[in-house]
Amino acid sequence: MATIRTIEIENFRGIKSLKWHPKPGVNCLIGPGDSGKSTILDAIDLCLGARRTFQFTDADFHGLAIAEPISITLTLGNLAPELKSIDGYGLYLRGLNVTTLELEDEPGAGLETVLSLNVRVESDLEPVWSILSDRAAAAGQTRNLSWSDRVALSPLRIGALSDHNLSWRRGSILNRLSDETADASTALLAAAREARKAFGVDADKKLGTALGIVTAVASDLGIHVGAKAKAELEAHSVSMTAGTISLHDESGVPLRRLGVGSTRLMISGLQQKNATESSILLVDELEHGLEPHRIIRFLDNLGAKQKESPLQVFLTSHSPIAVRELTVEQLSIVRKAGGVHEVLWVGQHADLQGTLRVYPEAFLARAVLVCEGASEVGLLRGIDQHRSAAGKPSMHSHGTCLVDAGGYTKIMPRAQAFQQMGFKVATFRDDDYRPDAAEEAAFEAAGGEIFKWRKNKKLEVELFESLPVPAVKTLVEKSLEDRSEQEIDSQVRSHSKNAVTLARVEEELRKGELSEETRNALGCAAGGNKEGKKAWFKTVGEMEQIGRDVIWPNLNESDKEFKDSVIALRRWCIGA
- DSSP of 75-87, one letter per residue? EEES--GGGS-HH
pLDDT at site 289: 79
Residue 181 domain-assigned (yes or no): yes
Give the model confidence (pLDDT) of 58-87 as tens digits. Answer: 999 999 999 999 999 999 999 999 898 887
Residue 283 domain-assigned (yes or no): no
Co-location of 146 and 166 in the same domain = no
pLDDT at site 302: 84
Residue 345 domain-assigned (yes or no): no
Residue 556 domain-assigned (yes or no): yes
Q: How far, in Å, CA of 65 to CA of 520, rounded? A: 66
Helix H or strand E encompassing 200: helix 192-206
Alpha-carbon distance values, 532 to 294, 375, 376, 535 (Å): 40, 10, 13, 6
Q: How far, in Å, CA of 505 to CA of 517, rounded? A: 10
Give the model confidence (pLDDT) of 339-351 as tens digits. Answer: 899 999 999 999 8
Residue 273 has pLDDT above 90, yes or no: no
pLDDT at site 277: 44
Co-location of 455 and 549 in the same domain = yes
Burial degree of 532 (CB within 10 A; 0-12, 13-18, 19+): middle
Q: Is 390:449 a contact under the CB 8 Å cutoff?
A: no
* Mean pLDDT of the 157-176 span: 56
Co-location of 465 and 487 in the same domain = yes
Residue 480 has pLDDT above 60, yes or no: yes
Residue 215 has pLDDT above 60, yes or no: yes
Co-location of 392 and 529 in the same domain = yes
Q: How far, in Å, CA of 181 to CA of 186, rounded? A: 14
Of the candidates 455, 483, 466, 451, the residue with the CA atom closest to the CA atom of residue 523? 466
Co-location of 143 and 167 in the same domain = no
pLDDT band at 310 (very low <50, low <70, confident <90, very high): confident
Co-location of 425 and 541 in the same domain = yes
Residue 235 has pLDDT above 60, yes or no: no
pLDDT band at 275 (very low <50, low <70, confident <90, very high): very low
pLDDT exceeding 90 applies to what percent of the chain?
Answer: 64
Helix ranges, 330-458 (H): 353-358, 374-389, 411-420, 437-445
Q: Is 245:202 a contact under the CB 8 Å cutoff?
A: no
pLDDT band at 242 (very low <50, low <70, confident <90, very high): very low
- Domain count of the fold of the chain: 3
pLDDT band at 240 (very low <50, low <70, confident <90, very high): very low
Give the model confidence (pLDDT) of 408-447 as tens digits. Answer: 999 999 999 999 999 999 999 999 999 999 999 999 999 9
Residue 38 has pLDDT above 50, yes or no: yes
Co-location of 248 and 133 in the same domain = no
Co-location of 138 and 228 in the same domain = no
pLDDT band at 245 (very low <50, low <70, confident <90, very high): low
Residue 284 has pLDDT above 60, yes or no: yes
Q: Which of 106, 124, 153 is the last residue of a domain?
A: 153
pLDDT at site 261: 53
pLDDT at site 207: 76
pLDDT at site 85: 84
Q: How far, in Å, CA of 173 to CA of 164, rounded? A: 9
Decide which of 492 and 177 is more confident: 492
> CA 236, 242, 247, 252 torsion: positive or negative?
positive
pLDDT at site 33: 79
The model's pTM is: 0.79
Q: How far, in Å, CA of 379 to CA of 270, rounded? A: 48
Co-location of 470 and 522 in the same domain = yes
Residue 87: domain span: 3-23+39-153
Q: Is 513:469 a contact under the CB 8 Å cutoff?
A: yes
Q: Which of 273, 293, 328 is the last residue of a domain?
A: 273
Residue 460 domain-assigned (yes or no): yes
Q: What is the CATH classification number for the domain harbouring 80?
A: 3.40.50
